[in-house]
Amino acid sequence: MEQSQISPDRILRIRGVLEKVPFGQSKIYEMVAAGEFPAPVRIGSRSVAWRESEIDAWIASRPVITRKPYRRSRDTGAAA
């Protein structure tokens, strides 16, 4: 019988989540309440954390926005 290797999922506290996403703490909790961000899991009576795999999957599901490089316009006006 073969045993499959299951890699343990890292648990991230809010600071770890904040390092991975471009939002603040209030926005993250707002998005959780709206069902737009992975919900945390309770790890104690007064503490929660997020599964890193769920955060990574959420990041991967976001659309990639490409921007044109910024071009500085040349000043063509003559000094008076």
Is 73 inside a domain boundary? no
Is 4 inside a domain boundary? no
CA distances from 78 to 1, 14, 72, 75 (A): 83, 54, 18, 8
Is 9 inside a domain boundary? no
Q: What is the pLDDT of residues 1-51, one digit of tens each?
A: 555 666 678 999 999 999 999 999 999 999 999 999 999 999 999 999 999
Is 3 inside a domain boundary? no
Is 7 inside a domain boundary? no
What is the pLDDT, as a whole number, of residue 76?
A: 60
Q: What is the pLDDT of residues 66-75, one digit of tens each?
A: 777 777 766 6
Is 66 inside a domain boundary? no
CB 40 within 8 A of CB 49: yes
Is 54 inside a domain boundary? yes
What is the pLDDT, as a whole number, of residue 75?
A: 63
52: pLDDT strictly greater than 90: yes
Count of the separate structural domains present in the chain: 1
Is 34 inside a domain boundary? yes
Domain enclosing residue 41, as ranges: 21-61
